[in-house]
Structures are given as C-alpha cells and as structure tokens.
Amino acid sequence: MQARLIRGVLLAGLCLSPLASASAESAYDAGTRVFRLDGGDVTYAFKVDGQGLLQSVYWGARLANGDPVDSPAIKGLSGFDVAANVVPQEHAGWGGGLFAEAALKIAFPDGNRDLVLVYAAHRLERDGVTVQLRDISRPVNVTLRYTIDRDTGIVGRSATIVNGTAGDIRVDQAMSGTYVLPVGRDYQLNFLTGRWGAEWTRQQRPVSAGATVLESRRGSTGSENNPFFAISRAGATTEADGPVWFGALAWSGSHRITVDQDVAGRVRVTGGYNPFDFAYRLGAGEKLETPIFYAGHTGRGMGEASRLFHRFQRDTILPHAADKAPALRKILYNSWEATEFKVDEAGQVALAGKAAKIGVERFVMDDGWFGARNNDKAGLGDWTVNRQKFPNGLKPLISRVNALGMEFGLWVEPEMVNADSDLYRAHPDWVIAFDGRPRTEGRNQMVLNLAKPEVRDHLLKVLDELLTTNRIAFLKWDYNRNWSEPGWLGAAPADQQRIWVDYVRNLYGILAELRRRHPGVEIESCSGGGGRVDLGIMGLTDQVWASDNTDPVDRLLIQDGFTQAYAPGTMMAWVTDSPNWLNKRSTPLSFRFLSAMQGGLGIGTNLNHWVAEDFATASTYVAAYKRIRATVQRGDLYRLVRPTPGDVESTTLYVAADKSQAALFTLVQGTHRLDPRTPIRLQGLDPAARYRIERMDGAALPEGVPAVASGAYWMGRGLDVPLRGDFQGAGFILTRGS
C-alpha cells in the first residue's frame, strides 16, 4: 500500500528549501488514483475515475495521514442524468452529456463542439500538482495547476488550454475550475454586491438547485458583484464558529462565478472568464491561460475565513519582497475633495503645509494637473503638465512637499481618453468601439484599447517618462467608466473578442513593467471608488480605494463588506469634510477619524476650512494611528459587532499577530432611550498576559474599566463603553506587558 503512495517534495524534514514547511504536502496514490493536497487545516482531494474523468473527492477540515480518502464510483441517476453530469468533475469539458456548468467549451472548425476531457499525466510539485487532461480524440490539451498554501490551506487553481490541432479552434468558455462542496441542504451563499457610492454590500441567500451567477460584463471587475464568494451553513455557521468555504478570482476583467446545486445535491462553484460574448480564437499551437481561482475552508466561522484570506493576501498576493511583509500604508493627504479640478502650485503648496503639520506622510495631488483638464470634459490622455496651473512643471511643488518631509503622489487615469484631447485627435482608432457605430461616453470619456500593442507601448512610455522625470513615490491609478461597444478597431472579425482577455493581460503587463523599472513607486487601484478590487489587481498594486462614499457611517458598512473578502491593510479610508459631500450627513471629526483609522488612513478634507481645534484633534488621532497601524494593517481582524443598514453600530478589534497589541473601535450612529450597551468582550488576546488599556484620544477610561487586566479578563469580562447620543465612538489601544 505504502509503495503506491507517491508524495510531493514537501514532506517534513525532506525538503531542503527554507521556505518549505512540514504542514504542506501533495501526494498521489497510484492504487486509488487519488491526489491529495494538505495545507494549514485543510485537505483537498480529487481522483481519476474509471472513465478517466477528474472527479472531486473531498474539500474540508484536514484529515489525518493515512486516512482513507476516496469516493465510490459514481453512476448516472437515470437516463436523464448520465454519469458525465452526475460525476462532480473538477474541470469538465462541454460534451459527453454534460448539463452542469462546463469549465471548457470549444468549437472546432468542422462544426464539432463535443469535448470530453480525461486524465493524461501529472507531476507532483513543490507547492501542489499539475495534471494534464486531453480530449478523448482531438489534440486539445489542458494543463490544470493546483497549489495549496502551507499556512492557510488556500488552494489556487488555473488551467492552460493548448490547441494541438493544425488549425484554429474557438474557445467559447474558459473557466479556472470547479470547486465542489459535500452534499448538503443548508448551504448559504454570502456575496458582495454594490454600485458606485454603495460598494461592498453583504448579501446572503440559500444555495439550491437553480444557479446564482456572480458576474461582471463591464470589462473590469465592477462594483455590482465582486468576484468573491463564501458559503456557510444555516444554523451552524456564525461569525465565530462553523464551516465556511470561500474564494475569489484573481482577475480584473469581466468574470463569472456560478454557484449551483446539482441533481445529486452537491454544490458546485465554477469561476473564470465571463463566457458572455467570449470567443477566443486559438491558432495552431497557441495557448490560453485562465485566471487563478483561489479558495479556502475553515471550520471556525466567517471571521476566521476573513482572517485566513487576509493573511494569504498579505503573504502571497500583495507585492512585497520575498522575505518581507507588504510595506505599511503611508498616511496620505489627497486634494480631490478640497480642490477638485482647481489645482495649482500655490493652492497645493498651502494644503501641503497644513497636511505636514498633522503628521501626513504622503501628499497626493489628484485630478486636474495635466493637459486641458479644467473639468471632466477634456484632457484625459494628455499626460503633460498644464503650464497655466504649473508654469514651472511639477518639480517646484514636489520639492516643497519633500522639504515638508512628505512623499509626493500623483493621480493618473491612463486607460481613458476624452474626445477633447490631443491623443484622441491623433489616434481616434485607439479607443474601444465598433467601426461606424456610435461611441458611448461615460463621464465624457472613452476607454483606450490596451489590447492593441501600440496603445500598450504608448502608455508604458508616457508613464515611464512621468516617473523618470519627476520624484513621484505614488500613483493613484483611476478608472472611471466601464466598456461599451467592445470592438477592437482594425482586428480581424475572428479576433475581435480576444479583447476581453488581451486588454487585461496588457494592463497587468504595464503595471508589472512600471514596478520593475520603478521599484520604489507604490500604486493605488481606484475605479471611481471600489470598482476594481480583486486578487488580480492586488498582485500589482499596493492599496485600493474602497468607495468614493467617504461618509463615516456609510463607510462602516462598506468596510465591513470589504473586509469580509479583502485585507484591511489594502483599504484606504479618508477623513473628509462635514457635511459629507455625498449624503450631506454631519458628523464629528473624531467619529470620522475612528471610522477611517480602520484601514489605511487618509485625509481628504479641505484643510483651509479647519480651525485650531480640528488640527489638534487630527494630530492626536494621526499620532495614535501611527502607534496602531501595523496592528490594523497586519493583524487579525475580529468583527465583534457587525453593522447593519439603518441604525449602524460597529465594534471591530485588530490584534497583532504576536498578540502584543490590540486596537479596538466602537461606534454608534445613534443611541436610543437608556438602552444599556452589551459589554465588549475581546477575542484573540493572550489570556495569561496582562494588557494595559488606554483611549486613543487620551481621554479618561470609562467608569469601571481597569487600566490593566489579563487577556482572560478582557475576553471574559470585557469592558463597558457607555456611548450616548448621535455619532458617538471610542477607540482603545491595549498593550501587552505594561
């Protein structure tokens, strides 16, 4: 028996690489033909069945070494549901009687569209396994790549389709793969929806027969359905306990995740390129690679699912040197809400002086500095400094900002063009459009077709020059509309629809090359708010903008949804003016700080309107934020009270990985009657250690709260924070051993 078991190279003690750990392993049992991946607390297993189909076997809590991992042969249920349909295939070709969601659908030039993918070969690798599939009769080969993260057990799956025929084939659907959950009746799908200004809304619905489709057809990720899912069990899963299967696509273009329960009761989650309007011509010998679809499992609730995913993003997805954590987010000031397009040297210098006084570390000039950009009708595409606003270029402003001890950052929106721009006048065929058809504009702008090599090369050159000639430490990379009329001017009809993939690949190429040439420059992904946040763009940018909605109450809801999927250390949050520009709500400055300090802190107010007291309040909170930022950005997030729309109340706790510090935020939109508040019981502390507690604003502790107590006390007894009134909040820092 043992002789048949061939293990991957991650066996404890056998691996020479210092990166390897005893807790990740890949193995293949030649007797049962079962592949088994183990990492963190997770086991993931699949097998080659009697027909050669690749079949899911198990995905859940980690099993013991030597446990029997196999599943009985699966037969069709009836003449209506033949085996191909009932077998929970890992990567099903559309053919052979399949009605469930296919991973791959191909049209051959002779009209054949039947594709049955069977096992051909495999290779165990350092971090997973690669499995070759091939069609039963035609030379179409698919390489499936499986990885498992040794710490979190998060699996990564992608597929590369190779056209081994002598002519063209057309790929009509290319998914990264299907994840299969055990048979069950009580599954709930948790997902994130939204629109501009209201991104990251949490949704939940039962999983049943009848698919739920989470998708974007916009050309980019979009706010409507983030490419993220989490499946819990009704009655069994809470924030703190119970099983959760979760995952996200690493793709910034049109995407689709389909969640369905098949005729045999299994839940199948299939994700990849959105097949809507998809048709990718593959010439002889050409290949198409899908995005990676990551997914994890925990038995410890929605909170732990987030913490695992956050850790995985910090360790594996976000850009950073191999042996380091991602850099901490700088506290930034951004000019947009203060000046909009009315930027000039004197105005920006005045704001910079004030920002430096409260401890800001990065001064970012937003839209309006280039071309004929006085409003949103002109200038996009012309990335040269507007000499009326900056007669001596950007250098004097940058020098002033640097002299004040801050880095300089700049707003760009490289993928767009206004019709009223020199670029569009010179290259009207560079936009996404259909020949001879109207070109829909959004915010008076059109999308440049980055799939065209000449557009890609132009953007790389322009941005490279901007970064080479100016001391710019940060780019806010904006993207303010979605695609329409998705034509590729000049491309052959058969290649038109490659745009859905090639655009995004070239965008990634530009970002990667800029990072290579300018390794010190950090980049933010912004899409008029949180419209392009996904694991693909996060691999090439350092931070993201969650929403243009900066109201601190709405933000608590937005941040709660965001952090269900993505790490708080990536999420920028600004303190802006009151009343808020979007919903006209007035809130105290301290409340705005306590809301924004739960991510990467930014300040976007018009500092010219502040009085001395505001500067003092801001300085206090900025100083407190600098003390806790590593904990907020790299620690474990516990959502102790999750806000719900209507009457928002939120209590969040961030605990440093080594448990040496914790940061607690509790905020209420309004209190009612004399209703008592529940004691706040912390989580994740070291029960035996002693922690000193203090308020972030330096005020006295609430009555009855001891200055020092054990972790066990803070987690068992907790603290009473009696808030009264509207827009009230308090922040606390707990420090171990003091």
Q: Which residue ranges are tagged as binding site? A: 196, 366-367, 443, 476-480, 526, 548
Show the binding pattern over residues 245-274: x = contacts ligand DGJ (CB under 6 A), - = does not. Answer: ------------------------------
Show the binding pattern over residues 588-627: x = contacts ligand DGJ (CB under 6 A), - = does not. Answer: ----------------------------------------
Q: Of 407 and 548, which has the nearer Cβ to ligand DGJ?
A: 548
Q: Of 404 and 582, which has the nearer Cβ to ligand DGJ?
A: 582
Angle (nearest 5°) at CA 467 between 461 and 469: 95
Q: Of 297 and 330, which has the nearer Cβ to ligand DGJ?
A: 330
Cα gap 499→487, rounded to integer Å: 8
Q: Of 231 and 526, which has the nearer Cβ to ligand DGJ?
A: 526
Position with the least CB separation from ligand DGJ: 367
3-state secondary structure 481-546: CCCCCCCCCCCCHHHHHHHHHHHHHHHHHHHHHHHHHCCCCEEEECECCECCCCHHHHCCCCEEEC
At a CB cut-off of 8 Å and minimum separation 6, what does 57 contact? Answer: 34, 45, 46, 47, 69, 70, 71
Closest separation in Å from C-beta 415 to ligand DGJ: 13
Closest separation in Å from C-beta 551 to ligand DGJ: 14
Closest separation in Å from C-beta 445 to ligand DGJ: 10
Site for ligand DGJ in 311-350 (CB under 6 A): 336
Closest separation in Å from C-beta 538 to ligand DGJ: 17
Of the listed pieces 265-273, 311-319, 402-410, 524-532, which binds ligand DGJ according to CB under 6 A?
Answer: 524-532
Structure tokens at 712: 């066990």
Coil, strand, or helix at residue 247? Answer: strand
Q: Is the peptide bond before 326 cis (omega within 30 degrees of 0)?
A: no
430-435: long-range pairs with CB below 8 Å, 24+: 430/454, 430/455, 430/489, 431/489, 432/219, 432/483, 432/484, 432/485, 432/486, 432/487, 432/488, 432/499, 432/503, 433/485, 433/487, 433/489, 434/485, 434/487, 434/489, 435/487, 435/489
Q: Which of 29, 41, 135, 548 is catalytic?
A: 548
Q: How many residues does the chain have?
A: 738
Cα gap 716→501, rounded to integer Å: 52
Closest separation in Å from C-beta 376 to ligand DGJ: 7
Cα gap 219→446, rounded to integer Å: 13
Cα gap 28→33, rounded to integer Å: 7
Tell me: does residue 411 bind ligand DGJ (CB under 6 A). yes
User: Would you call 478 a catalytic residue per the annotation?
Assistant: yes
Residue type, 649: E
Of the listed pieces 265-273, 428-436, 522-530, 679-687, which binds ligand DGJ according to CB under 6 A?
Answer: 522-530
Cα gap 149→209, rounded to integer Å: 31
Number of residues that bind ligand DGJ (CB under 6 A): 11
Coil, strand, or helix at residue 246? Answer: strand
Phi, psi (5° rounding) for residue 633?
Answer: -85, -25
Closest separation in Å from C-beta 558 to ligand DGJ: 13
Cα gap 583→645, rounded to integer Å: 14
Closest separation in Å from C-beta 396 to ligand DGJ: 23
Q: Of 379 and 569, which has the nearer Cβ to ligand DGJ?
A: 379
Angle (nearest 5°) at CA 182 between 176 and 188: 85
Show the binding pattern over residues 207-246: x = contacts ligand DGJ (CB under 6 A), - = does not. Answer: ----------------------------------------
> Closest Cα partner for 660 from 611, 715, 733, 596?
733
Residues at the annotated binding site for substrate? 196, 366-367, 443, 476-480, 526, 548
Cα gap 336→367, rounded to integer Å: 7
At a CB cut-off of 8 Å and minimum separation 6, what does 242 contact? Answer: 232, 233, 236, 299, 300, 301
**In terms of DSSP bridges, do strands 416-418 and 54-61 run parallel, antiparallel, or are they unpaired?**
unpaired
Of the listed pieces 70-78, 448-456, 526-534, 560-568, which binds ligand DGJ according to CB under 6 A?
Answer: 526-534
Site for ligand DGJ in 533-552 (CB under 6 A): 545, 548
Q: Of 101 and 366, which has the nearer Cβ to ligand DGJ?
A: 366
Cα gap 664→478, rounded to integer Å: 32
Out of 55, 480, 559, 576, which residue is the one contacting ligand DGJ (CB under 6 A)?
480
Closest separation in Å from C-beta 728 to ligand DGJ: 28
Out of 262, 366, 415, 524, which residue is the one contacting ligand DGJ (CB under 6 A)?
366
Coil, strand, or helix at residue 16? Answer: coil
Out of 90, 127, 345, 367, which residue is the one contacting ligand DGJ (CB under 6 A)?
367
Cβ-count burial 341-362 (b if 16+ within 10 Å, e if not): bebbbebbeebbebbbebbbbb
Closest separation in Å from C-beta 337 to ligand DGJ: 8
Q: Of 176 and 578, which has the nearer Cβ to ligand DGJ?
A: 578
Closest separation in Å from C-beta 363 to ligand DGJ: 15
Q: Which of 41, 149, 478, 636 is catalytic?
A: 478
Q: Report how far Cα 578 is from the mean position of its chain's Cα atoms.
A: 29
Closest separation in Å from C-beta 51 to ligand DGJ: 52
At a CB cut-off of 8 Å and minimum separation 6, what does 208 contact? Answer: 261
- How is residue 578 annotated by DSSP? S
Q: Of 237 and 335, which has the nearer Cβ to ligand DGJ?
A: 335
Show the binding pattern over residues 153-192: x = contacts ligand DGJ (CB under 6 A), - = does not. Answer: ----------------------------------------
Site for ligand DGJ in 549-578 (CB under 6 A): none
Of the listed pieces 191-199, 521-529, 623-631, 643-651, which binds ligand DGJ according to CB under 6 A?
Answer: 521-529
Q: Of 215 and 478, which has the nearer Cβ to ligand DGJ?
A: 478
Q: Of 379 and 731, which has the nearer Cβ to ligand DGJ?
A: 379
Coil, strand, or helix at residue 698? Answer: coil
The residues pairing with 513 across neighbouring beta strands, listed in sequence order, are none
Q: Of 603 and 696, which has the nearer Cβ to ligand DGJ?
A: 603
Of the listed pieces 122-130, 455-463, 523-531, 618-626, which binds ligand DGJ according to CB under 6 A?
Answer: 523-531
3-state secondary structure 165-181: CCCCEEEEEEEEEEEEE
Residues that bind ligand DGJ (CB under 6 A): 336, 366-367, 411, 478, 480, 526, 528-529, 545, 548
Positions marked active-site: 478, 548
